[in-house]
Structure 1
Amino acid sequence: MKLEHAFPCGSPALDFAATLRARRTVRFEMLVSPDRLDAWYVGSGILDAVTPSRESDVERAIEVREAIYELVSARVAGEEYDRAALAVVNGAARKPPATPQLTPSGRWTDATPEEALSTVARHAVELLSGPDVPLMKECGNPECTRVYIDRSRGMRRHWCGMESCGNKLKAQAYRARKKQVQASAAR
């Protein structure tokens, strides 16, 4: 698996929670270093620049990420929130967030790692208390544990993203159908 950040979930909070991939199987950590954390913040579009993170920032980000994932999973399952996870996310959201600035060339947002993490936590608070809650779904790929916002017509989307899970599962289904047709023809 490549070490590239992906943003298919429709929310920075959900994409952040998805930085630990395949939670039920091989668990693939995307936030392996301060540089990777900084790359996620900028790649997600919530910031234009971030003061370089340290290992302690990565540890804190992973703690907040896991709390966000726990709260999202509970919300999707219709279960009560874990109080410890609530405390972690709310604690991060209470910190000052990244503040966009207007420049002659447009908007520019730079932040410290703490401000960046606060911004992600605030996205989680807004998501989990807002109108998109009924649109949250877990990816239909059994190996994937991403939760995404389904804004498709009729809410018929099955995968977090076509490029990752959708194409893979469609190709598997096609091969299975082709194999079945060949087996039937051989009889």
Structure 2
Amino acid sequence: MGAKELERIRALFLAGHPALDFLNTRMSVDGNLVELLQSDEDVHSWLKQAGFPASTIDRKLKPLHLLRSARTLRENIRSLVEGRKRGKSGDPSILNKFLAAGSRYSQLVWSKSNKLRIETVRRQKSAESILAPIAEAAADLLTTGNFDLVKHCENQTCLLWFLDQTKSHRRRWCSMERCGNRYKVAAYRARRRDQNISS
């Protein structure tokens, strides 16, 4: 897989919830498992693309510590989501570790145009604190999300999750472009083949 295609895949935010988008950083493409998080920079880039607070790479962190932490958090979230979807309990201790590392405070900002606003500032001194917003999003999904609407793509080879926010709640695919159209084309070809055989 080329760098251009990988970059296009990185931009996929189709789950409708940031915790599920985070799970989708590991996916299957043409039958191959693709890991989008390959470096600390990839984690920072994903956080920025997802709209989480910008963070800088702390040079005090050991190289790849953020990457390892992100993958650990992601797989724990995956386990908790899969368990919740099946109606089973899971072990939230890893998620709770990231939640405990989250530290934020409010700050009054007085702009040059003489307007006041309050901004939330996050302390980001560790990999866990940098990833705390994802842990918060996952905790929110797990506690308040309607898991009848948290779905796994119906394409058997696809690993992607999504929150079905359609009016009818009948969404079946991660996206029509990735999996829905492939299914429809395959079904059409099968019908044509069956018609030709019976003719």
Q: Same fold (TM over 0.5)?
A: yes
Larger Rg: 2
5+ long unaligned stretches in structure 1 = none
Q: After TM superposition, give the deviation of residue 109 of structure 1 in Å.
A: 7.6
Partners of 1:183 and 1:22 lie apart in 2 by: 33
Deviation at 1:110, TM superposition (A): 7.9
The answer (yes or no) to whether the contact 1:14–1:147 under 8 Å persists in 2 is yes
Aligned residue runs from structure 1 range 7-156, under 5 A: 7-22=13-28, 26-47=32-53, 49-52=54-57, 54-81=63-90, 83=91, 86-96=92-102, 112=124, 113-156=127-170
Matched-pair contact (CA < 8 Å) for 2:102–2:123: no
- SS of the equivalent of 1:127 reads helix
Please give the alpha-carbon distance, in whole angstroms, between the structure 1 residues aligned to 2:55 and 2:188: 44
Tell whether the 8 Å contact from 1:41 to 1:116 is kept in structure 2 after alignment. Answer: no
Deviations along 1:108-141, one digit per CA (max 9) or x if unpaired, are 9887454331000110000000043331111101
Q: 1:159 to 1:99 in 2, by over 3 A?
A: farther
Do the aligned partners of residues 143 and 89 (structure 1) sit closer, same or farther apart at CA in structure 2, a change above 3 Å counting?
Answer: same
Query: How far, CA to CA, are the matches of 2:106 and 2:193 in structure 1?
Result: 55
Structure 1 distance, partners of 2:99, 2:80, is 14
* Cα distance in 2 between the residues matched to 1:69 and 1:36: 19
- How far, CA to CA, are the matches of 1:162 and 1:100 in structure 2? 41
Q: Which has the higher strand share?
A: 2
TM-score (norm 2): 0.77
> Structure 1's 100 and 171: CA in aligned 2 closer, same or farther, altered over 3 A?
farther
Give the conservation status (yes or no) of the 8 Å contact 1:20–1:28. Answer: yes
**C-alpha deviation, 1:148, in angstroms:** 1.1
Question: Residue 117 and residue 181 in structure 1: after superposition, are their counterparts in 2 closer, same or farther (change >3 A)?
Answer: same
The 3 A distance-change label for structure 1 pair 52 and 162 is farther
Give unpaired runs (5+ residues) of structure 2: none
Q: 2:26 touches 2:35 (CA, 8 Å); kept in 1?
A: yes
> Within 2, Cα distance between the matches of 1:143 and 1:98?
40
Which amino acid in 1 is paired with 2:134?
A: V
Number of aligned residue pairs: 180
After superposition, the Cα gap between the structure-2 partners of 1:115 and 1:45, relative to the gap in structure 1 and judged at 3 Å, is: same
| TM-score, normalised relative to structure 1 | 0.82
Of all paired residues, the percent bearing the same amino acid is 31
Q: What is the aligned-residue RMSD (CA, Å)?
A: 2.8
